[in-house]
Amino acid sequence: LPSSSRCQGTNTNETQAIQWLAEYNELAMKAYFESTVASWSYQTDITDQNEQAMIDANVKVAAFAKEARTNASLFDMTNFSYDTKRQLSKLKTIGDAAIEDQDKLEELNNVLAGMESRYSKGKVCPEDGECLSLEPGLTRIMSKSRNYAELNWAWQGWREAVGPSAKEDYKRYVELKNIASVANGYANNGDYWKSWYEVDDFTDQLENLYQELSPLYDNLHAYVRRKLYDIYGSDYISLKGPIPAHILGNMWSQSWLNILDLVLPYKDASSIDVTPVLVREGYDARRMFNVSDEFFGSLGLKKMTPEFWAESMIEKPDDREVVCHASAWDFSNQIDFRIKQCTDITMDDFITIHHEMGHIEYYLQYKDLPVVYRGGANPGFHEAVGDTLALSVSTPKHLKAVGLLDEVQDDYEADINFLMSMALDKIAFLPFGYLMDKWRWAVFDGTITPENFNAEWWKLRTQYQGIVPPTPRTEANFDPAAKYHIPSDTPYIRYFVSHILQFQFHKAMCEAAGHTGDLLKCDVYNSQEAGKLLGDMLKMGESKEWPEALEKITGNRTMTAQPLLDYFQPLISWLEEQNSGEQLGWAEAWTPNEPPVWPSSAISAHQTSVWASVVLASLV
Ligand X SMILES: C[C@H](N[C@H](C(=O)O)[C@@H]1CCCN1C(=O)[C@@H](N)CC(=O)O)C(=O)N1CCC[C@H]1C(=O)O
Question: b/e per residue, 516-549, with b = 16+ CB within 10 A?
Answer: eeebbebbbbebeebbebbbebbbbbbbbebbeb
Q: Provide the residue type at 43 as one letter.
A: Q
The distance of closest approach from Cβ of residue 365 to ligand X in the complex, given in angstroms and rounded to an integer, is: 13
Q: Name the 3-class secondary structure at 3.
A: coil
Cα dihedral value 345, 350, 353, 357, nearest 10? 140
The distance of closest approach from Cβ of residue 327 to ligand X in the complex, given in angstroms and rounded to an integer, is: 3
80 CB-near residues (< 8 Å, 6+ apart):
14, 17, 88
Q: Tell which residue, 205, 176, 180, 21, has the closest CA to residue 96.
A: 180
Residue nearest to ligand X (CB): 327
DSSP 8-state assignment for residue 106: H
Phi, psi of 257 (to 5 degrees): -60, -30
The distance of closest approach from Cβ of residue 337 to ligand X in the complex, given in angstroms and rounded to an integer, is: 10
The distance of closest approach from Cβ of residue 211 to ligand X in the complex, given in angstroms and rounded to an integer, is: 22
Do residues 113 and 39 lie in contact, with contact meaning Cβ atoms separated by under 8 Å? no
326 is catalytic: yes
Q: Sketch the per residue contact string, 326 through 365, with Zn ion: x for CB under 5 A, - otherwise.
A: ----------------------------------------
The nearer residue to ligand X, 456 or 542, going by C-beta atoms, is: 542
Do residues 444 and 190 lie in contact, with contact meaning Cβ atoms separated by under 8 Å? yes
Q: Residue 340 binds what, of Zn ion, ligand X, none (CB under 5 to 8 Å, by partner type)?
A: none
Q: Residue 327 binds what, of ligand X, Zn ion, none (CB under 5 to 8 Å, by partner type)?
A: ligand X
542 is catalytic: no
Q: Name the 3-class secondary structure at 287.
A: helix
The nearer residue to ligand X, 378 or 527, going by C-beta atoms, is: 378
Pick the stretch among 23-31, 271-279, 383-391, 556-564 that binds Zn ion (CB under 5 A).
383-391
The catalytically annotated residue of 28, 113, 180, 326 is: 326
Q: Residue 326 binds what, of ligand X, Zn ion, none (CB under 5 to 8 Å, by partner type)?
A: ligand X
Beta bridge partners of 327: 340
The catalytically annotated residue of 373, 495, 525, 567 is: 495
The catalytically annotated residue of 359, 398, 499, 515 is: 359
Q: Residue 325 binds what, of ligand X, Zn ion, none (CB under 5 to 8 Å, by partner type)?
A: ligand X
506 is catalytic: no
The catalytically annotated residue of 135, 150, 361, 383 is: 383
For residue 109, CA distances in Å to 78, 186, 293 come to: 36, 20, 35
Q: How far apart are CA 367 and CA 539, in angstroms?
A: 8
383 is catalytic: yes
The distance of closest approach from Cβ of residue 149 to ligand X in the complex, given in angstroms and rounded to an integer, is: 26
355 is catalytic: yes
Q: Sketch the per residue contact string, 512 through 551, with Zn ion: x for CB under 5 A, - otherwise.
A: ----------------------------------------
Q: Tell which residue, 502, 432, 486, 422, has the closest CA to residue 250.
A: 432
The answer to the question of residue 383 lying near Zn ion (CB under 5 A) is yes
Do residues 537 and 552 lie in contact, with contact meaning Cβ atoms separated by under 8 Å? yes
Q: Tell which residue, 301, 222, 240, has the closest CA to residue 572.
A: 222
21 CB-near residues (< 8 Å, 6+ apart):
84, 87, 88, 370
Is the preceding peptide bond at 306 cis, omega within 30 degrees of 0?
A: no
Q: Residue 495 binds what, of ligand X, Zn ion, none (CB under 5 to 8 Å, by partner type)?
A: ligand X
The nearer residue to Zn ion, 24 or 40, going by C-beta atoms, is: 40
The nearer residue to Zn ion, 331 or 598, going by C-beta atoms, is: 331
The distance of closest approach from Cβ of residue 360 to ligand X in the complex, given in angstroms and rounded to an integer, is: 9
Q: How far apart are CA 532 and CA 1, in angstroms?
A: 31
Q: How far apart are CA 566 and CA 595, in angstroms?
A: 40
For residue 22, CA distances in Å to 25, 83, 87, 188, 379 come to: 5, 13, 11, 32, 25
Query: Contacts with Zn ion: how many residues (CB under 5 A)?
Result: 1
Q: Residue 461 binds what, of Zn ion, ligand X, none (CB under 5 to 8 Å, by partner type)?
A: none
The nearer residue to Zn ion, 341 or 395, going by C-beta atoms, is: 341
The distance of closest approach from Cβ of residue 467 to ligand X in the complex, given in angstroms and rounded to an integer, is: 16
Residue 161: its H or E element = helix 148-162
CA gyration radius, the chain? 25
Contacting Zn ion within 226-255 (CB under 5 A)? none
The nearer residue to ligand X, 222 or 377, going by C-beta atoms, is: 377
The catalytically annotated residue of 355, 382, 398, 499 is: 355
The distance of closest approach from Cβ of residue 86 to Zn ion in the complex, given in angstroms and rounded to an integer, is: 24
221 is catalytic: no
Q: Tell which residue, 468, 456, 571, has the closest CA to residue 518.
A: 571
119 is catalytic: no
Beta bridge partners of 337: 330
The distance of closest approach from Cβ of residue 515 to ligand X in the complex, given in angstroms and rounded to an integer, is: 26
The distance of closest approach from Cβ of residue 355 to Zn ion in the complex, given in angstroms and rounded to an integer, is: 5
Q: How far apart are CA 488 and CA 490, in angstroms?
A: 6
Pick the stretch among 98-106, 303-311, 375-383, 397-405 that binds Zn ion (CB under 5 A).
375-383
The nearer residue to Zn ion, 355 or 515, going by C-beta atoms, is: 355
Q: Residue 302 binds what, of ligand X, Zn ion, none (CB under 5 to 8 Å, by partner type)?
A: none
Q: Residue 150 binds what, of ligand X, Zn ion, none (CB under 5 to 8 Å, by partner type)?
A: none
Q: Residue 490 binds what, of Zn ion, ligand X, none (CB under 5 to 8 Å, by partner type)?
A: ligand X
Binding footprint of ligand X on the chain (CB under 6 A): 254, 325-328, 352, 355-356, 359, 382-383, 490, 495
Interface positions with Zn ion (CB under 5 A): 383
Residues serving a catalytic function are: 325-326, 355-356, 359, 383, 485, 495
